[in-house]
Structure 1
Amino acid sequence: MGLCRWERTFSWVDYEGERAMKTLQHAVARFVREEEGVTAIEYGLIAGLIAVAIIISVQALGLKLASLFSYITGQLKVP
């Protein structure tokens, strides 16, 4: 079949243009789906890094807070 064909309505239908448009639509749809996946992965990585930062902060401050509370408790019992 050639590039165009004659319709019963006496108008030309461009098969190559239609095929190109469908191909473009599929490519754009695939790109959008892939971008959403990449965005989800990026958000997951950011959430993971924030969780690691919180864990490290709590562990680093945990001992200092425990000793601070022990000191305060000791000061309250002295009188």
Structure 2
Amino acid sequence: MLHTPYMRFAGDADHERVLVITPVWVRLDAIYVRVPGAPAHTVVTGLDMTGDVPGRLTGWFSTPKGDWPGVVDFEIP
């Protein structure tokens, strides 16, 4: 798991600290963009990089331009 300074934890020093995981949806089409006009080579047993999949948000990073990308793990069908 990737640790960031912006991760949230529940609990305190006297009790077990537990990472707060926020359920999110990940739009694979927005992350894995195909080059326009690139030929498609269909593989029946390949990964399906389209649609939305459930994910688990565990933290954030700040960028020099002020964006806040989230740290999310998800499964690709």
Q: With structure 2 as the length reference, what TM-score do the two structures score?
A: 0.22
Higher relative contact order (CA 8 A, sep 6+): 2
Query: Which structure has greater strand proportion?
Result: 2
Pick the structure with greater CA Rg: 1
More helix by share: 1
